[in-house]
């Protein structure tokens, strides 16, 4: 594939290195000194796919531009999901190709699937209270992480006794119907997410710990390969479904 990278920070750099190691080619790069929104269609060149790891406030304008230009895009930027309905409309209007995920690690996707089964069991066990913890490096722009938010929303969907996610520090007794998400920013941690269910007797936990950024970059490329030739708005779940059915 020929790729256009939108955002050349740590994740963009990891995607570029993994792409070149996997016989793909980066044909265009956009960053703060060369903004994507100021570029012309010709600047994308012959790219088969755009990969976006930019900033939350730029995600939707970038998606709009890609839809208008008919450039398929894998969106790794998070923090824009409150505009998901608008993006869905954009994709439909332009018959475009967009695949987004808060985390492109295949291991996180497996964790998410496992959590769906666990919450089915835990819904009948009122003694267990759920929470989410996440740890990332100090340069991460958003808090909580998109992945932590996604996992917490899964817990809310799966447990009838929970009805909302609470990402803020608590200075009083927490609402028992909330799933608390706690975030830590320290050092150079690539990313660690834990979903736990605590009871008076024991604690059950599901955890994913990234060893490096290669796993995320490899997941991006696998998702991009899957997206080629498809039209619509997709998530990594659609990719997994297709692999499992195959």
- Residue positions in the annotated binding site for (S)-2,3,4,5-tetrahydrodipicolinate? 137, 146-147
Burial class (CB in 10 A: 0-12, 13-18, 19+), 227: buried
Residues that constitute the known binding site: 33-34, 76-78, 101-104, 137, 146-147
Annotated catalytic residue within 136, 162, 180, 208: 136
Is residue 140 part of the annotated active site? The answer reads yes
Cα–Cα distances in angstroms (integers) from residue 90 to residues 38, 60, 146, 234, 235, in the given order: 20, 10, 22, 13, 16
Helix (H) or strand (E) holding 207: strand 203-209
Long-range Cβ pairs for the range 225-228 (8 Å, 24+): 225/1, 226/99, 227/49, 227/72, 227/74, 227/97, 227/99, 228/1, 228/48, 228/49, 228/72
Annotated catalytic residue within 2, 31, 94, 140: 140
Residues that constitute the known binding site for NADP(+): 34
Q: Which residues are catalytic?
A: 136, 140
């Amino acid at each position: 594939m020929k790729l256009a990278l939108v955002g050349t920070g740590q994740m963009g750099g990891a995607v570029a290195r993994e792409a070149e190691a996997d016989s793909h080619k980066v044909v265009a790069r956009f960053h703060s000194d060369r903004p994507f929104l100021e570029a012309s269609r010709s600047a994308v060149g012959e790219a088969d796919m755009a990969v976006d790891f930019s900033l939350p406030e730029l995600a939707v304008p970038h998606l709009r531009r890609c839809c208008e230009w008919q450039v398929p895009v894998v969106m790794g930027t998070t923090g824009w999901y409150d505009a998901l309905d608008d993006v869905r409309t954009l994709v439909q209007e332009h018959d475009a190709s967009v695949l987004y995920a808060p985390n492109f690690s295949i291991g996180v996707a497996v964790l998410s699937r496992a959590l769906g089964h666990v919450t089915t069991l835990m819904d009948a066990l009122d003694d267990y209270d759920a929470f989410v913890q996440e740890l990332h490096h100090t340069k991460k722009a958003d808090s909580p992480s998109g992945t932590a938010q996604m996992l917490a929303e899964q817990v809310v969907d799966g447990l009838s006794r929970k009805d909302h996610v609470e990402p803020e520090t608590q200075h009083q007794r927490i609402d028992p119907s909330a799933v608390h998400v706690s975030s830590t920013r320290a050092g150079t941690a690539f990313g660690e997410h834990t979903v736990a269910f605590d009871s008076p007797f024991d604690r059950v936990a599901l955890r994913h710990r990234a060893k490096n950024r290669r796993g995320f970059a490899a997941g991006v490329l696998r998702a991009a390969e899957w997206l080629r030739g498809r039209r619509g708005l997709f998530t990594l779940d659609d990719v997994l479904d297709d692999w499992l059915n195959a």
